[in-house]
Structure formats: C-alpha cells, structure tokens
Amino acid sequence: MSPDSEPQHSGTLRLGLLGGSFNPVHNGHLAIARQTREALGLDQILFVPTSHPPHKQNGSLAPAQDRYEMVRLAIASDPSLAISDVEIRRPGKSYSIDTVRLLQQEYGAHTQLFFLVGLDAFLDFPSWREPLTLLELCPFVVLSRPGLSFRSLSTVAPLPPIPQTSLEDLDAGRISQLDVPLGKQRLTCLQLPPCTISASDIRSRIRRGLPVANLLPPLVESYILRHHLYQEDRDRTNN
C-alpha cells in the first residue's frame, strides 16, 4: 500500500492487520474485516497476503501475485479496506514479527497497528517466531472461529491466566469482547457472527464446476475463471 492511498486522518491512525493466504479471498474475509473494524473503532483494515505461509503446506496455493490481485479487486470499492504487498515482495517465508516491524517502519509513529488473527491460528502461537517479543510490539485481536471455543486459550503458553468465567461468557455470547492486559499491550478476544464460508470449500466447488457466486465478490470470481485458478485437479482428471 502506498502512502498516497492512506486515508486523511488527524491524530493516530488505528490500523488492523489482517494476514492470510486469501486462497482465494471471499465474502467471509470481507465481512470479518468490516465487523472487526466497526467493533474496535479502527480506521482501516490492511489485508496482508502471505507469500509462503510458514505454517501452511498447501499444494493448491495460487501464485502470490494472483492472490494479491484478487484481494485488490475485492476491496477496490471500499476505502476502509486496504492491501499491502509487504510479505509478497520479501523473498522466502514471511514471519509475523518481521511483517509487524516493517509496517511499523513504513507507517511511522502516527499509526497504531492491531494484529488480527483467527482463534485457530492463535492456538499455534507458541510455535511462531519470537512470540513473546511479538506480543510486545502491538495489541493482538483474536477473532472467533466456527467450531472453536475461547476456553482453549487457557492452553496457550505465553498468555497470563484469563478468568475461565470470562472465556465462557464469550463462548456463550453473553459478551462479545474481552480485553486482557499484556504488559504494555493488550489482547482482545472478539466474538463475531459465525462465518460459514471457507476457501477450501470454494476451491473444491471450482474444481467440480459448481457455482460460487454467493461466496466470492464478482470481480474475484471473474479473475479466477479468467486465469483458470484452482482447476488443477479437474484438469488432471480430464487428461
């Protein structure tokens, strides 16, 4: 994202970082971004497509440039959503701590970054590169995921004890947000409306020639069809 595309803003820019493979980006990703921005009063959500996700082995991963372009098309009409190629332009695997440090340098002291991560990914947090240092760099926002409970956060080693009753209130929907102090920073747990759309299901539907119109932004669906993405299994079957 170039400085020219930053919104005009007086004071501190509150910027949520939403990383992922976006393979492909879909309506669920857009809903999560908008719901999180509204719930936390963020100015903008910055999509950060990964180049080579260090924690994901996926034989059907579309080229990074295609995944970047699909996100760009998906968010083009919404100024509250933006995109960065910070991980794609860096060679090799991208680690979250390097990404946060680079974006802090790019945006400067007038921007407060918020690291958005799904509960499923955050449960692996102890295996991330320099997890304790990463928690000190910026606030973390852990987003609910279907089929998982916030009670499972009690197993994540670097975190301080979180009251079990508060986590149960989150899971039951009695509260939608829980803030946990983490030294100079904080961890926010956010219960969002369930998202039933999955990228793996979309890829499977495309391979089988099934409709995906309600799952993807129209421009993304057109891009996938035009560039013949996610059809490798179908092609092999037909050969």
Between CA 7 and CA 82 the distance in angstroms is: 10
Decide: 170 and 189 in contact? Cβ < 8 Å: yes
Write down the pLDDT at residue 58: 55
Decide: 48 and 17 in contact? Cβ < 8 Å: yes
Give percent of the chain with pLDDT exceeding 90. Answer: 80
Between CA 136 and CA 176 the distance in angstroms is: 24
Q: At residue 6, does pLDDT exceed 50? A: no
Between CA 68 and CA 48 the distance in angstroms is: 8
pLDDT digits 0-9 by tens, 96-122: 999 999 999 999 999 999 999 999 999
- Answer yes or no: is 121 within a domain: yes
- Answer yes or no: is 58 within a domain: yes
- Answer yes or no: is 232 within a domain: no
Tell me what the mean pLDDT of segment 169-195 comes to.
94
Domain containing residue 151 = 9-195
> What is the total count of domains within the chain?
1
Write down the pLDDT at residue 235: 44
- Answer yes or no: is 229 within a domain: no
CATH number of the domain enclosing 142: 3.40.50.620
pLDDT digits 0-9 by tens, 42-79: 999 999 999 876 555 556 899 999 999 999 999 999 99
Q: At residue 234, does pLDDT exceed 80? A: no
- Answer yes or no: is 227 within a domain: no
Q: At residue 4, does pLDDT exceed 60? A: no
- Answer yes or no: is 207 within a domain: no
- Answer yes or no: is 104 within a domain: yes
Q: Quickly state the pLDDT bin for 10 (edges 50, 70, 90).
A: low
- Answer yes or no: is 221 within a domain: no
